[in-house]
Amino acid sequence: MKLTDLAKSGKPLLTAEIFPPKGTNLARVLAKAKLLSPAIAAFNITDSQRAVMRLSALAISKVLRDAGYLPIYQLTCRDRNRIALQSDLLGAAALGIENVLLLSGDHPKHGDHPEAKPVFDLDAAHLLDVARGLMAGKDMQGNALDGRPDFCLGAVVNPTAEPMEHQLFMLRKKVMLGAEYFQTQVIYDVAVYRQFLAGVAALKLPAMPLVLPSVLLLKSAKMAERMAQVPGIRIPESVVARMQGAADPLAEGQKICAELIDELLGLAPGAHIMAINCEELIPDILARCKKL
């Protein structure tokens, strides 16, 4: 099922992230999917996120699909040249994966293999165009394919990056290249997200893409302080202060997360929920949301 079709049901569309393991043990991945389903409609499988080497996202996508879950296969340009990227996209299609999220990827410099060659033969814009080409039955060289993929193409956008105008430019470009849905960078400032949506509306795109804002559970005051330093993330001082003043910071983090989801669901058709290594708390967070 394509994410864009799923969104048509009218119910808030919730997605969550699943990190492939560093190793071959799939028990945790399957346990997480079981715990979060069916509240979470689709699982984003990250591609060695933060440039930390992990088991293949394509393999996990297939495993989850076989287990009856809906995977969103993330594919980055960081580790593969155009031959490998096309090859993996065809592989994903042949394995029955319909939702892909295409991104440039984090630079290896800050990952766990900093000496690795940063490939970036293509960028995220190219990759969207390439995927669209494959869907039309042609590879990048115009060679005909025997059997073509039918993907719902996803991309990323950062509504809180400054200046916002540049991100709106990229969103517009990616839509023109076939992106049907977007997953955003983590949102803590709903006012900024509202401004971003106004900016998107002002682009007067022929068709509005599905945009799922991301929320990330704050687990401690320290994490909130650290997030404030992360490039491209804006977190209001009031949120940091709430975490710093809380007697039980994890509980406060869950409360903030639920409030954010509620506020964002007033603006968006769904949300992407992240709770790095605390996914078992997501059902509790969702239970606190008034809009669900």
Partner 1 sequence: MIITHLKPEEEVARSLDGVRALFIVGCGLCATSCQTGGEKEVSAWTEKLRARGLTVTGSVICDSPCDERLVKRDFAANKAAIAAADALLVLACGVGVQVSADVAEKRAVPALNTSALAKIQRIGVNQEYCRQCGDCVLADTAGICPVTRCAKGLRNGPCGGAHDGKCEVETDRDCAWQLILKRLTPADKERLLALRPPRDHRKQGQKP
Query: In the complex, which residues of this chain contact partner 1 (CB under 8 A)?
Result: 77-78, 82, 104-105, 107, 109-110, 118, 120-126, 129, 156-158, 161-163, 165-167, 169-170, 172-173, 176-177, 185, 230-232
Report d(CA 108, CA 215) in Å as an integer. Answer: 24
Q: How far is the CB of 228 from partner 1 (least distance, A)?
A: 11
Alpha-carbon distance 81 to 88, whole Å? Answer: 11
Q: With respect to partner 1, which residue has the nearer C-beta, 169 or 198?
A: 169
| Minimum CB–partner distance for residue 229 and partner 1 (Å) | 8
Here the tokens at position 241 are 């202060």
Q: Pairing between strand 99-103 and 270-274?
A: unpaired
Q: Which residues of 64-81 are buried (b: 16+ CB within 10 A; e: fewer)?
A: bbeeebbbbbbbbbbbbe
Written in H, E and C, the secondary structure of 163-228 is CHHHHHHHHHHHHHCCCCEEEEEECCCHHHHHHHHHHHHHCCCCCCCEEEEEEECCCCHHHHHHHC
Closer to partner 1 by Cβ: residue 12 or 108? 108
Q: How far is the CB of 15 from partner 1 (least distance, A)?
A: 19
For the CB of residue 103, give the shortest distance to partner 1 in the complex, in Å. Answer: 9
Identity of the residue, 164 or 281, whose beta carbon is nearer to partner 1 in the bound complex: 164
Closer CB to partner 1, residue 30 or residue 161?
161
Please state, in angstroms and rounded to a whole number, the distance separating the CA atoms of residues 51 and 76: 10
| 6/125 with CB nearer partner 1 | 125
Q: What letter represents residue 140's amino acid?
A: M
Instruction: Please state the closest distance from residue 291 (CB atom) to partner 1, in A.
Output: 27
